Amino acid sequence: MTSTFPYLVLAMTLMTQGGMAEAQTAGGPMQVIVATPQQLSVSESASKTVGVSQVQGQSAKMLYGDAAKPGLYTVLLRLEPHKRIMPLSHPDSRFVTVLSGIFYVGFGDTYDETRLNALSAGGIYTEPANTNHFGETRDEPALVAITGYGPSGTTYANPADAPGAVKK
């Protein structure tokens, strides 16, 4: 029987010091990645990541693929404490897994705190295409993995809620 230790060492090497960026380029072959949520580095601003809410205090890391193009993608999304995502939708159906923290998610065209469901690590939910949903973090950050088949995008139910929208 052969040991899997050398493969684990290789996978962890890919995870360090920019290895994540090298591990998965858009359209490239899938690489081996083995990591706990604590080992994942998600520190890039989400402001230019397609298919996420782009609220301030959010960072993202494209783990596989390119959400702006046709094909499978997975993005890691980190939300700092006390962040709110107003109702929005995406043109593609997506599957979301909470990796750490608690993420509160609800569905509908208007934000309604009474409709929020608390999901801790291991919790899952789906975002059917063009279905408005909203969410928030409370006293702790949350890390989620979003997988879909692009191209993706983000449309706020109320355009005035979009980050960068001119408030009247």
| Structural domain spans, the chain | 36-160
Mean pLDDT of 83-90: 96
Reported pTM: 0.79
Q: What is the pLDDT of residues 25-74, one digit of tens each?
A: 456 788 888 988 888 878 777 777 887 887 877 889 999 999 999 999 99
Mean confidence (pLDDT) of the chain: 83
Q: Where does 36-160 sit in CATH, by number?
A: 2.60.120.10
pLDDT of residue 145: 96
Mean pLDDT of 78-107: 96
**Strand order, beta sheet including 102-107:** 117-120, 102-107, 133-136, 84-89, 155-156
What are the b/e assignments for 78-114, b being 16+ CB within 10 Å?
bbeeebbbbbbbbebebebbbbbbbbbbbbeeebeee
